[in-house]
Structure 1
């Protein structure tokens, strides 16, 4: 099924390699404007100039952030700031990071994957997408003809065949090894041995891949491939634009940390808040939990993640004095608020109940047009602070979605609501990337 290939990666040169912590950046979709400015100032060679360049007031179609990124890429290649590896490789990326007092390692394989239409079920999505991010990434693809950030995808390795291949590379000298200011460490090695590559390819060819993070990038790559095929006419099917760069991670990897995107709401009139309470009591059993309780967060986490926690939601606000634990009275009564085409698995997701029953039905929000009203936080304490400080009126806390649930949703051909999962931490941009001309 999945068609995996090595590639000649583009990387920073040996001189800049010593300061990689200053030049890598997050992927475009988690870079707010203030961070964009900080990354520009961090280094004149920061990868932000390719991944998510600044827009300027005087920008036009012929002179824009995309054309500036293309000029920067050409300049850095000409100056040797960026170099192309001589031998095609699959890259082994070990990403070490702290989270909630524990240390983790997420092991990924950076490789090219043949693009496949969704209908073929070779590459399987799990979340919905929006038009604007796809337009941005498609325009960047046209300008650079390169994948600046990799899509995160998941695979299965029950017999540890792929793991054994990767483990054999651990003693090799890394291409890249550096620490970041936030306590993360990155180690990158190249797998160029023919037999190792063949083993990885054989084992991944037996199964589909599941997109964890990067749905917009994948759909942009599909659109770009279609554009190029229409322009060129007959093609071989093995052109540079027929592939996309992915970081592939085992479903069972201990470092696969998935955070829940809690929902925060503000800007609602007082009468709407009054209506919410009567609506909630109709569909949920409600237990009040004082914030002053010494073990309040322990009780919240047990409520959300316990065996009986399906559909459970914790509400902070609007009074701020108590935390409300919401448990669905009857899943059947909630189905009428779900999109009719959705699977049973989708309808029972906590995030589906939150989005469709509470946010859309009871609060009257249009989720795709609520940038000012609706926000997301991936930390329950941060969400609580933002309500208690008065920045937001309410926060709805949910439990993280397990990897096996993601697989089940994707296997039935469904997609979760947008912002259902957050894979932590994001794969950084600038370690290595794919330029189609080097295929």
Structure 2
């Protein structure tokens, strides 16, 4: 039984939400960040990049404290206001391709995370968990929800569809031409129905945000130990999540880029590949695979299709069926000598949402030697791997939707 509860969100005022909302800090180029910081005093980037005020790079605990200071200033100036009643929040995105994503922003249970009611499909890095936990503990809030997915549910969709007939509390369009909407659900009957509907679900799945959820677990342990009057219903026992039906989740692949051929010539490399793949030269025209276990490859100005010789590879587990794992087991590790996908600087990743020509241009520039394209994983694969207690390689999925930071904020 999943425990999903309403919370009192801190939100920008209606007139400033479009100015406050930002993408994740890392997704901006330096020039983009500086432009927003120079000309938009309301951007959430001012909170997460507090050293900008002093024209100085600040890191560690000093930065965390300044983040907290900037956040409190936004509250003091009335840019952020906290809701008076615990609520659920319908968040809708319509992207530039007219694809819709509808979900509910709510608080999910750390206990569910520990007990595997909330299932994971990715490994996390301990140092990153600890760093983000320390950050959360100092600043006292979280502005980026964990993306959770659940089976489509008629009780929830009936309520959310009805509420969306009303005028949204927030409606704003970004420079990416995505339009964002937010509705608050504070009606007690609706809150009760939604809470009960989630309580009937045996499992929720993390689609994106494994480090955020694991850091929230560490934070809960720390604050629980420090609280002599711990009751179990404190806000630190939960973490902000965006829960979206499985049918509305969009999964893209991450293509792989490698800087060298591990000492092999082009001909030697192709001969190595031939042992496990049937190779066809597709020439200079961009080529993308259309089936699982088939890959595209760009090398030395030409595209190739790679078709797995199934007699030479057996699928023993659900993880073996995943193309990101297959590529690792058959090419990246045994031929190209890449063992540590998280830390080897010879490999990089490019979202499959971007055109295959982006992969081509990075190789043509000389930055990389070879690139591999694949088809996206499916929600069924992701769930099966999580159910089996297995973990995907890093950057196996690029998942949408991507929410803006600073629209709903969860305080501990």
Same fold by TM-score greater than 0.5: yes
* SS, match of residue 98 in structure 2: strand
Q: Is residue 351 of structure 2 the alignment partner of residue 377 of structure 1?
A: yes
- The CA deviation string for residues 111-150 of structure 1, in whole angstroms up to 9 with x for no partner, is 0111126552210112222234323321220111111111
Contiguous gaps of at least 5 residues in structure 2: none
Q: Is residue 235 of structure 2 the alignment partner of residue 261 of structure 1?
A: no
CA distance in 1, matches of 2:349, 2:39: 28
- Structure 1 residues 87 and 54, CA, compared in 2 at 3 Å: closer, same or farther? same
- 2:306 aligns with 326
CA distance in 2, matches of 1:332, 1:286: 15
CA distance in 2, matches of 1:252, 1:334: 30
CA distance in 2, matches of 1:58, 1:312: 45
- Structure 1 residues 279 and 267, CA, compared in 2 at 3 Å: closer, same or farther? closer
Deviation, structure 1 residue 371: 3.3
- The CA deviation string for residues 202-250 of structure 1, in whole angstroms up to 9 with x for no partner, is 1111221111111110000001111112222451111110000000000
Deviation, structure 1 residue 37: 3.0
CA distance in 1, matches of 2:31, 2:122: 28
Contiguous gaps of at least 5 residues in structure 1: 336-342
Deviation, structure 1 residue 388: 2.7
On the 8 A contact 2:93/2:100 being kept in 1, the answer is: yes
Q: How does 1:119-268 map to 2 (within 5 A)?
A: 120-158=115-153, 160-207=154-201, 208-233=203-228, 235-253=230-248, 256-268=249-261
Deviation, structure 1 residue 415: 1.8
* SS, match of residue 41 in structure 2: coil
On the 8 A contact 1:124/1:410 being kept in 2, the answer is: yes
Indicate the larger mover: 117-126 or 25-34: 25-34
- Scaled by the length of structure 1, the TM-score of the pair is 0.86
Deviation, structure 1 residue 191: 0.6
- The CA deviation string for residues 383-429 of structure 1, in whole angstroms up to 9 with x for no partner, is 12222333321110011111222112112222211111111341111
On the 8 A contact 2:262/2:336 being kept in 1, the answer is: no
- 2:43 aligns with 46
Q: How does 1:359-370 map to 2 (within 5 A)?
A: 359-365=332-338, 366-370=340-344
Task: Work out which of the residue numbers 383, 387, 391 in structure 2 matches 1:415.
Answer: 391
On the 8 A contact 1:129/1:418 being kept in 2, the answer is: no
- 1:340 aligns with none
- Structure 1 residues 231 and 273, CA, compared in 2 at 3 Å: closer, same or farther? farther
- 1:311 aligns with 293
On the 8 A contact 2:8/2:84 being kept in 1, the answer is: yes
CA distance in 1, matches of 2:189, 2:265: 64
On the 8 A contact 1:27/1:51 being kept in 2, the answer is: no
Matched residue count: 406
CA distance in 2, matches of 1:129, 1:279: 32
CA distance in 1, matches of 2:182, 2:59: 38
- Structure 1 residues 346 and 426, CA, compared in 2 at 3 Å: closer, same or farther? same
- Scaled by the length of structure 2, the TM-score of the pair is 0.91
* SS, match of residue 167 in structure 2: coil
On the 8 A contact 1:5/1:111 being kept in 2, the answer is: yes
CA distance in 1, matches of 2:317, 2:254: 22
- Structure 1 residues 288 and 50, CA, compared in 2 at 3 Å: closer, same or farther? same
CA distance in 1, matches of 2:263, 2:269: 10
* SS, match of residue 194 in structure 2: helix
- 1:338 aligns with none
* SS, match of residue 196 in structure 1: helix
- Structure 1 residues 210 and 385, CA, compared in 2 at 3 Å: closer, same or farther? same
* SS, match of residue 362 in structure 1: coil
- Structure 1 residues 185 and 271, CA, compared in 2 at 3 Å: closer, same or farther? same
The RMSD of aligned alpha carbons is: 2.3
CA distance in 2, matches of 1:153, 1:331: 37
CA distance in 2, matches of 1:3, 1:52: 34
* SS, match of residue 282 in structure 2: strand
* SS, match of residue 323 in structure 1: strand
Deviation, structure 1 residue 285: 1.3
On the 8 A contact 1:111/1:246 being kept in 2, the answer is: yes
